[in-house]
């Protein structure tokens, strides 16, 4: 996908009908039109699919989040489209109406749009959990990968179950949707990570849904070796099982790794086999599972391990919550510090290992956090990982809301909604990607309690993020004059740089950015 001065991300299909009769219905976005602007000033078209009464016209207004900037629909209005000329990056809401000849509103719908900055280089660690089964059901491959591109994702994590590879004993195959996903990843420059696991119906002897004897361990290894060979040169990162919390780390999981690791590495020595599968979520965040495996000699049967250090429903990434052994504090900084340390070789003959975070996120319903707070937490998670030098993958869970049930938390983890419309977190991630790319950390500090500053880049080409856990006044020695300093908020909106001898601002949960050129 070509680089754009700004990108407009709209809903894929969002239909609002008055009732089940023949009343007019309104669709914002659509499958047969461009959903992205090609640059500032381009006319954005929001088509209508409706049996509109004669003389009815569209009306509506686009409003930018935070500052209330309004972008009126361009004239003339018609019954089949609204047109907008959006010139500034930001997160927008459209309220559109179909108005009858008597001025009555026949139908009204609301939609969100993410107008994103260009992303010349994707952050290597930026990943998201992606369920290709959603695309297969909806035939929505193009919009999904356009959204991934626009947000700057470099990685996706998807499932390839053992049962889908080996439905009958000794007979192997790859689902068509997986082949298509991997092909699209190659086309879009995205690196896929595949989870291999879950029991196969070809075998019956499991312990709590996990292979714990020689027959099932060997069968799992052979099926995974087939998948690794099938995708050799296309998929380099594999994860053995997902959250095998029901399996004992030393008595059950390590014996499986001892069989699987040499088998798949014999097929493709260049791949990374990640163990742990994210176990250790919750009270044992990022350590309660892997430490026994390492202590029992498991270092030689993996290239790295993963954790799922969730802070949901409402704990912050910076402070987390009180943990348990081996981490007294279950926070993202503590998780990173401990796991990156465990991965380093402690003697010349020891194998170094990489640490991955293969699920991480917050859900956005009444039991979780607001969509705006989700955006703040995900942006801060990226900043914290950059500060600690995570160079593998941080995979947000997940790409799209899995359903529409209001009280089901699994239906509200997405950075886009079930209709593909972007949440604020989509915008926040895209802005981070555009500013930080793969710049290395040059400085970080905490100028006030629970307030943080991170600077990345080189010499006079730096970007600095400032945020806090709660509203806090921050003062930084930033010498004036500041003619070359640009200040942006989380959605990429340009702000006025504070004047004065020191840079003083009210830091809050949403990061602000300073670009020095």
CATH of the domain at 482: 2.60.40.1180
* CATH at residue 83: 2.60.40.2550
Q: Which of 95, 116, 137 is the last residue of a domain?
A: 116
Q: 334 and 466 share a domain?
A: no
Residue 147 sits in the same domain as residue 245 = yes
Report yes or no on 2 lying in a domain: no
Q: Are residues 38 and 51 in the same domain?
A: yes
Indicate whether 121 belongs to any domain: no
The sign of the torsion formed by the CA atoms of 249, 254, 255, 256 equals: positive
Of the chain, the percentage scoring pLDDT greater than 90 comes to: 65
Does the residue 337 lie in any domain? yes
Task: Say if residue 277 is in the same domain as residue 305.
Answer: yes
446 in any annotated domain: yes
Same domain, 323 and 458: no
pTM value?
0.92
What stretch of H or E contains 434? helix 424-436
Cα–Cα distance for residue pair 178/163, rounded to 1 Å: 14
pLDDT of residue 29: 42
- Of 436, 468, 501, the residue that ends a domain is 436
* Residue 94 sits in the same domain as residue 174: no
153 domain residue, yes or no? yes
The kind and range of the H/E element at 144 are helix 141-151
509 assigned to some structural domain: yes
Assigned token pair, 143: 């919009």
178 and 86 in a common domain:
no
Q: How far apart are CA 186 and CA 463, in angstroms?
A: 30
- Of 436, 471, 495, the residue that ends a domain is 436
13 found inside a domain: yes
What is the tally of structural domains in the chain?
3
Q: 34 lies in which domain range?
A: 7-116
Are residues 306 and 377 located together in one domain of the fold? yes
| Model pLDDT, residue 33 | 31
Together in a domain, 316 and 417: yes
- Half-sphere CA count of 389, side-chain side, radius 13 A: 10
Domain match, 467 and 403 both: no
Whether residues 284 and 223 share a domain: the answer is: yes
Flag residues of the chain having pLDDT under 70.
1-52, 75-81, 280-286
| CATH code for the domain of 419 | 3.20.20.80
Residue 131 lies in a domain: yes
Start-to-end CA span in the chain (Å): 27
Alpha helices in 170-213, H assignment, sequence order: 176-188
Give yes or no: residues 323 and 448 share one domain: no
Distance of alpha carbon 297 from alpha carbon 152, whole angstroms: 38
């Amino acid at each position: 996908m070509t680089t754009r001065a700004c990108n407009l991300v709209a809903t894929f299909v969002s239909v609002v009908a008055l009732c089940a009769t023949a009343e007019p219905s309104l669709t914002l976005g659509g499958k047969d039109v461009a959903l992205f602007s090609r640059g500032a000033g381009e006319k954005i078209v929001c088509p209508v699919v409706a049996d509109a009464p004669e003389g009815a016209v569209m009306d509506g207004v686009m409003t930018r989040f935070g500052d209330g900037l309004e972008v009126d629909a361009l004239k003339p209005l018609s019954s089949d489209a609204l047109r907008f000329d959006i010139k500034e990056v930001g997160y927008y809401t459209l309220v559109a109406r179909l108005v009858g000849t008597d001025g009555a509103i026949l139908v009204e719908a609301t939609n969100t749009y993410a107008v994103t900055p260009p992303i010349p280089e994707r952050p290597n660690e930026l990943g998201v959990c992606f369920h290709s089964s959603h695309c297969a059901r909806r035939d929505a491959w193009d919009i999904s990968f356009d959204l991934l591109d626009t947000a700057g994702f470099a990685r996706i994590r998807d499932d390839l179950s053992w049962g889908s590879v080996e439905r009958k004993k000794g007979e192997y195959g790859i689902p068509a949707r997986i082949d298509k996903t991997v092909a699209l990843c190659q086309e879009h420059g995205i690196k896929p990570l595949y989870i291999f696991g879950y029991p196969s119906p070809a075998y019956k002897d499991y312990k709590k849904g996990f292979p714990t004897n020689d027959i099932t361990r060997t069968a799992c290894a052979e099926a995974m070796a087939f998948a690794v060979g099938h995708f050799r040169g296309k998929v380099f990162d594999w994860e053995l099982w997902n959250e095998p919390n029901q399996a004992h780390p030393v008595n059950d999981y390590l014996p499986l790794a001892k069989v699987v690791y040499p088998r798949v590495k014999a097929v493709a020595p260049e791949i990374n086999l990640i163990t742990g599968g994210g176990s250790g979520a919750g009270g044992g965040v990022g350590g309660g599972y892997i430490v026994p495996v390492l202590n029992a000699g498991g270092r030689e049967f993996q290239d790295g391990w993963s954790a799922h250090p969730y802070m949901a429903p409402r704990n912050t990434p910076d402070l987390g919550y009180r943990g348990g052994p081996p981490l007294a504090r279950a926070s993202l900084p503590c998780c990173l510090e401990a796991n990156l340390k465990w991965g380093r070789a402690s003697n010349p003959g020891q194998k170094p290992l990489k640490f991955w975070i293969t699920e991480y996120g917050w859900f956005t319903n009444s039991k979780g956090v607001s969509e705006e707070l989700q955006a703040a937490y995900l942006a801060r998670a990226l900043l914290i990982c950059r500060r600690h030098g995570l160079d593998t993958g941080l995979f947000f869970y997940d790409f799209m809301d899995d359903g529409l049930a209001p009280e089901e938390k699994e239906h509200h983890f997405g950075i886009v909604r079930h209709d593909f419309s972007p949440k604020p977190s989509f915008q926040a991630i895209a802005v981070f990607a555009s500013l930080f790319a793969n710049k290395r950390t040059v400085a970080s500090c905490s100028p006030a309690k629970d307030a943080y500053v991170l600077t990345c880049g080189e010499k006079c080409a730096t970007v600095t993020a400032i945020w806090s856990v709660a509203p806090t006044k921050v003062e930084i020695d930033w010498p004036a004059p500041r003619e070359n300093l640009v200040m942006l908020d989380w959605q990429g909106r340009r702000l006025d740089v504070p004047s004065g001898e020191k840079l003083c601002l009210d830091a809050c949960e949403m990061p602000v950015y300073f670009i020095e050129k």
